[in-house]
Structures are given as C-alpha cells and as structure tokens.
Structure 1
Amino acid sequence: MKVLVTGATGAVGSRLVPQLVEAGHTVVAATTSEAKTARLCEAGAEPIVLDVLDTAAVRDAVRRARPDVIIHQATALAGNLKLRKVDRDFAVTNQLRTKGTQNLLTAAAEFGVRRFVAQSAMQVLYARTGGPVKTEEDPLDTDPAPGSEQTLAAIRFLERAVTSTPGIDGIVLRYGGFYGPGTSIAPGGEQLELLHKRRFPVVGGGGGVWSFTHIEDAAGAAVAAVEGGAPGIYNIVDDEPAPLAEWLPALAAAVGANKPMSVPRWLGRLLAGEFIARASTEIRGASNAKAKKELGWTPRYASWRRGFAELGRS
C-alpha cells in the first residue's frame, strides 16, 4: 500500500518509515525540514516538506500523493519540557492534534483515503479512580491538572475526530510513556540526565502506575494498524504496568545512577507542579489486550525491565 506519514523524522516516525518500507509499502514521508529529506531518502521513502497546519498545503500533498493510508505522527515535543505549565509546553503539539488532524482528515475524505492512523497518548488520559490498569472502554479524566486542560482537550479532539469522520476507518493509538533511542529516556535524554543529577525523585510514595512503550514497538503498532485491525482506539503499551516507586529505582540502577530521592507529595507539587505530582501518585496504567487481539501486535519489549537493561548497555 501507499502510506503518507507525517512527523516522519520524529521519534516514532524515524523508526516507522524503515519498518513500513521493509514491510513492502510505498512511503511518502513528510517532514517540516528540507534538511531532513536526505535521511528519508536513505530510508527508502519519498520525502516531502509539509506543515500540517497549512490547510492548502495539506490538501495539495494528499492530492498529489493519493495514499491508501495516512499515519499522523506529527508532534513538537523536542526541547526542555518542564511540565509545570503543560499547555504552554504542548502548545504547538496541541495545534497539530487539532487543526493538523482536521486538515489531514478533510483532505483524506476528499481524495478517498480510507484508512487513517493517529498518535494519541494514554499516560494521563484515564480517570484516576478504580483499579490500577485501564482498558480502552474505561472513562477518561474529567478533572485534569491545572494548566493541562488544553492538552487533554486536544487529545480528546483528535480521538473523536479520527474515529467519527464519515468515510474514514480511523485508528487511534494510545501510546504509553516512550523510551528508547530518540526519546527523553535514552542516553543523553532529558529524563536520564535529571536522574543522574538526582533531580527525578519518587514523589509521595510513587504510587502512580505507568505503562511504557519502547519506541520501536510504537512504530510496529502503526505498521500493524496499516495492515489490519478494526477502526477504533487501542492502548499501545507493554505487558507490565508498574508504579513509579518500582520502575524509577530500576531505571536508575540500569543506567548507573544513584538511587532516586524520595520527597513528600506537597514538596513534589511545590517544586514541579500539580501535573507531576498527580503523575507520580495517582495515574493509572493500561492494558494492551485489545491491541494484541485485534491488531495482531505483540511488543518486542514485553517489559520495560528488558528495555531499561538495554539502555544501561548502550
């Protein structure tokens, strides 16, 4: 099939393009940077320079490419994300998830693109009540941390638009916390740097449950969504949700950092904000059973334990 990928040089996209090519698909790979097109050519794709916020440019790109599938992986998350003011840090990404998604869906409907796959996120999406592990059918959070309301609204807009546009078989991939090459949990990545400086503590007992997704598995799930699976929403996470108090010390040990400090919730909130305090103490993990059954996807990194151990050897 012919696949148009946005965000093709991002953390997921740069792993996704080679996997699609290897699977025999023809790939039109979109980037916002002319300087990155050579890299896409080397990966076996046809590169284009595209700003998905430009409505006319998106329409023209889809008209020219006439893909069978569009995969929307565009984000703008590079840089030093403090997450004290989430909506500020995610402002451009929120636009890509709203206006960018709508531009692509409108063009897809006009030019007969039947299948549409989009990147979402589950880490702080589910309601912070009930059991520790959520399925796609569980309710979402209706009380986001102050300063993150726009970000949650943008995610919900994307999911609603992708799964309800007439004529489009929309698939939403709710990724867990990314780690691996090109992410902030990788050698040289921001979160590992904070860990080595002992500036990434266990807050308030660390009871918040996290689900992780290795970046290669994130890309593999998108390939699976191109090739099969019913329209809908899928959690793309590994097999082992775990509380912060368990996985953070394990990560520190794996990469040779000192054991993280522990701080009370009030101090964590004071230092890093309410968003981080909730992520440390209240969030829920997710089940990947639906993705395994309906997409036929199985994570290569079934547990973050193996993936973290590899980070320590790299």
Structure 2
Amino acid sequence: MKVLVLGATGYIGSRLVPHLLERGHHVVAASSSVPDPDRFGWDERVRAIRCDVTDDEAVAEAVRDVDAVVYLVHSLDRSDFGDRDRLAAEVVAAAVGASDVRRLVYLSGLVPDVPESELSAHIASRLEVERILLGSGADAVALRAGVVVGAGSTSFEIIRQIATLFPVQPVPLWMRSSVQPVAVSDVLRAMDDALAEDGPLGAVDVGGPDVVSYPELMRACSRAVGLTRLRVPAPVAPMGLVGLGAALATTAPFHTVTALIESLRHDMVCRPDASWEPDGGGPLLGLEQALDLASTEAYAGPEGALPSDPAWTRGNVLLDLAPLPASTRAAARLALHRVLAVLPGG
C-alpha cells in the first residue's frame, strides 16, 4: 500500500516509517517542516514532504493517490493544544472524505471509565480528535494506547526521569491508579493489523500484558537501570503543584508534562471487550522486558534510542562518563538543560 504518515518525525512516526518499509509499503512521510531523511536514516524509498495539517490545500494534496493515512499528530507542547488538534483533525477528516483513501489509522489514548466531564484536557482532546477522524468516511480505526515504553517515548521518558531523579520520592495518593503500558514494538504490530483491508474498525485499546500502579511502574523504571529509590505517600499533593514540580524536575516541554500529569488520576487500562489481539499471534512484550530493551544503549530495535529522538530525552556524553552518583548526574543534566534553554538558540 501507499501510506501517508502524518507526524512522521515524532516518536512513533520515526519507528513506524522504517517498519512500514520493511513490510513492502510505499511511504510518504509528512511533518510540519520538511523532514530530513538523513536525520532519520530513511532512504530513497521514503518521500518526505512538508504538510501543515491545518492547511486545507496542503492536506488535500498530501492525501491524493494514497491508500491509507496514519495520523500521529499531537500538539501537547502548546498551551492551546486542544484547539489546534481539533482544527487539524477536521481538516484531515474532510480531505480524507473527499479522497480515495481506504484506511485511516489514528493513535489515540486510553480513555478512563469515568464521565467525560471528569476527563483530563489531554484525554478529552484525544477523544474529540478520535471522533472527528472516525467520522471521515474512510474505514477508520483509533488505536488507544497508554504509556508507550521505549527510549524517546514522551510519556515513558517523563515517568523514567521522575522515577530516577531523587533517592526519596513523594508519591501523591491520587497517583495510585492503574496503568497498562505497551511496548512500542507491539504498537507497531497493532498498526500493521489496523492497516490491513480486513483490519479492525472503531476504537480499539492497545496494551501490554501487565497492569501496574504508577508507583509500581516508577519502581520498575528505576530497577531497570539498577537504582533503588524510596517512595513515600504524600497525602496532601494538589495536582497543579505536582504538575509544576514534575515539569521543573524533568527536561520535557513544560506544557507536555503538565498535560500528562493531569491524566494520572484515573485508571488507564484496556477494555476487556475492546482490546487488540495480534492477528499473527505471538506474545506481547512484558513490562520488564520492554524496560530492559529501552535501557540497553546498544539495542537497535524499536525500544532503543534513535539519534533523531528529541534532545531532551537523551543524556549528555560528558556527564554520562563522569564518575558521579546517578542522582547527581541526573541533577546536573537537568541543570545543564535549563541553562541551554535560556541561551540564544537554546
């Protein structure tokens, strides 16, 4: 098939493009600025284009003569992400509806089993985009995933940084909800099934075999890199204050952190009657195995780090070689990141 990947330079997109090539698909890789194939290791089989998903003409041109569209666009690094994501989804849905696109795949987020009025702004936006795209007129599927485990994954990197920074870590009582992480390689497998002509339709939940609480996930993250951390309950921990603290304690974009923290108060697990099961069979990667792969520097699979991953997810070569305690190294890396951020061009 000829597949247009919108948001190809993001975390999932950077893994999906070579994955699709390996399966014989023709790939058009699109992002808000023209992707640099050399940065991502793409060869001449990839057609790299610029496509502003809020531009009607640009999107109409991009979807012309393609069989399927994979929509990976999210704007969490902006304070107005909800408005922009709604507009982008409306533009893409209209263009797909007026084209010959047969399949539309959207990577959405797991939706907690609570009244919609209680959803975080982040999840509410994902659900709104999902509904818009599912109404495009094409055979559409929304793959709902929670924490995607892999080096460079935004949600995973934020949790990993928080889990490894301080030797003693207060954990709000409202963060004891459950989460069902999924390895990025299994997300790619779900994409394969979703792109098939006889693939699933509607909203499908994608999760790994393990359901854990957020403190257990943090413990697993620190254990994967050989660190012991003490976590103590924090009975009084306003969500806004926790979001601000997490944003200051990680190198991730501020608005991204605060938006994701707001989603931690609800269980993020798959619906038993609407969960993805691989068409080709085979087990899903367990949490510990996925964490081991994500923590292995030399690993070249999907869970491993790529040179194209955002700078904030990567370590510093000099600091990584310095004979410092893990917490000191992490604090120094954070301080360096803050200094570079305020310098011209930072």
TM-score interval, normalised by the smaller of the two chains: 0.7 to 0.9
Letter in 2 for 1:308: L
1:203 maps to amino acid: P
TM-score of the superposition, structure 2-length normalised? 0.71
1:309 to 281, 285, 292: 292
CA positional deviation for 1:154: 2.2
Matching of residues 1-314 of structure 1 within 5 Å = 1-34=1-34, 36-38=36-38, 39=40, 41-42=42-43, 44-63=45-64, 66-77=65-76, 88=79, 91-92=80-81, 94-95=82-83, 97-122=85-110, 125-128=111-114, 141-145=116-120, 148=121, 151-166=122-137, 168-184=138-154, 189-198=157-166, 201-204=170-173, 206-227=175-196, 228-267=198-237, 269=239, 271-273=241-243, 279-280=263-264, 282-287=266-271, 290-293=274-277, 296=279, 301-314=284-297
Q: Classify the secondary structure of the residue corresponding to 2:237.
A: helix
* Aligned-partner Cα distance in 2 for 1:260–1:297: 41
Judge conservation of contact 1:268–1:277 (CA < 8 Å) in 2.
Answer: no
Percentage identity across paired residues of the two chains: 23
**Contact preservation (8 Å) 2:109, 2:123:** no
Contact 1:16 1:223 in 2 (8 A): no
Cα distance in 2 for partners of 1:248, 1:275 equals: 19
Unaligned runs of 5+ in 1: 79-86, 129-139
**Aligned equivalents of 1:161 and 1:112: distance in 2?**
18
Q: Is the 8 A contact 1:180 1:311 kept in 2?
A: yes
Conserved 8 A contact 1:206-1:245: yes
Q: Is the CA contact 1:19–1:223 (under 8 Å) kept in the aligned structure 2? A: no
CA distance in 1: counterparts of 2:169 and 2:89, whole angstroms? 34
Q: 1:144 to 1:49 in 2, by over 3 A?
A: same
Give me the whole-angstrom Cα distance separating, in 2, the residues matched to 1:222 and 1:11: 14
Aligned to 1:75, the other structure's residue is in SS state coil
Tell me the SS of whatever aligns to 1:195: helix
CA contact (8 A) 2:5 2:69 kept: yes
Report the Cα distance in structure 2 between the residues aligned to 1:277 and 1:203, rounded to whole angstroms. Answer: 11
**1:158 and 1:276, CA in 2 relative to 1: closer, same or farther beyond 3 A?**
closer
Are the structure 2 counterparts of residues 261 and 214 from structure 1 closer, same or farther at C-alpha, using a change threshold of 3 Å? same
- CA root-mean-square deviation: 2.9
- Find the residue that maps to 1:99 and give its secondary structure: helix
What's the CA shift for 1:265?
Answer: 3.6
Unaligned runs of 5+ in 2: 244-257, 298-346
How far did residue 281 of structure 1 move?
A: 5.2
Amino acid at match of 1:73: L
Q: Distance in 2 between matches of 1:185 and 1:152?
A: 13
Q: SS of 1:261's equivalent?
A: strand
Alpha-carbon distance in 1 for matches of 2:259, 2:34: 36
| Of 44-53 and 215-224, the range deviating more from structure 2 | 215-224
Once the 2 structures are TM-superposed, how far is the Cα of residue 200 of structure 1 from its aligned partner? 5.8
How far the C-alpha of 1:110 sits from its partner, in A, is 1.2
Deviation at 1:45, TM superposition (A): 1.4
- Structure 1 window deviating more from structure 2 (97-106 vs 260-269): it is 260-269
Distance 2:44 2:151 in 1: 17
Distance 1:292 1:311, change over 3 A: same
Shift in Å, 1:180 = 0.6
